[in-house]
Amino acid sequence: MAINKGWNGHITIGAAEMAQINNWEISFNGDALEKTSFTSIVKDRTFDPGLRSHTVTFSGYAEDTDTAQDALTDLMASGTANAVAAIHLIYDRATTKGWQGSGIITNLTEGTPVDGLATFNGSFQVTGGLSTE
């Protein structure tokens, strides 16, 4: 199996690719539901699997001409519900392998250090599941 190179990835929101993003991550989470009872003869807790959830975070550089970055900023600034966006996380442009799903924007952060480039970071709570491309 070939190892994917990070420089070959990207993230799209709807049909627009986000420019200047240099990192994205998916966190896969699952609940563990305790089912230990008083009648348990062993002194160890027991669990059943529960619901799953996924969180996507991304970071990079702010670009004022990027329509995807502008769209996310407009959604968060509009005061409307943090709209559900179609997310595509590609880790290999050549084969378009990656993940896709829908998410609710939960955080956007823009920053400008005095000695560096302006940054653009954010996160999505995936709603429903993720599928592979």
- Distance of alpha carbon 7 from alpha carbon 128, whole angstroms: 28
Each domain of the chain, given as residue ranges in start order, spans 6-30+46-132
- CATH assignment of 6-30+46-132, given 2.30.110.20, 2.30.29.30, 3.30.70.360, 3.30.720.210? 2.30.110.20
- Distance of alpha carbon 67 from alpha carbon 63, whole angstroms: 9
pLDDT 10s per residue in the chain (133 long)? 566 666 677 888 878 888 888 898 999 999 999 999 888 777 888 899 999 999 999 999 999 898 888 888 887 887 665 666 788 888 777 777 888 888 888 899 999 999 999 999 999 999 888 888 7
- Distance of alpha carbon 83 from alpha carbon 97, whole angstroms: 25
| Residues facing residue 84 across a β-bridge | 104
Please spell the DSSP secondary structure of 18-59, one letter per residue. Answer: PTTEEEEEEEEEEEEEE---TT-SSSS--EEEEEEEEEEEEE
Contact 4, 92 (CB under 8 A): yes
pTM recorded for the entire structure: 0.82
The pair phi, psi for residue 8, each rounded to 5°, is: -95, 5
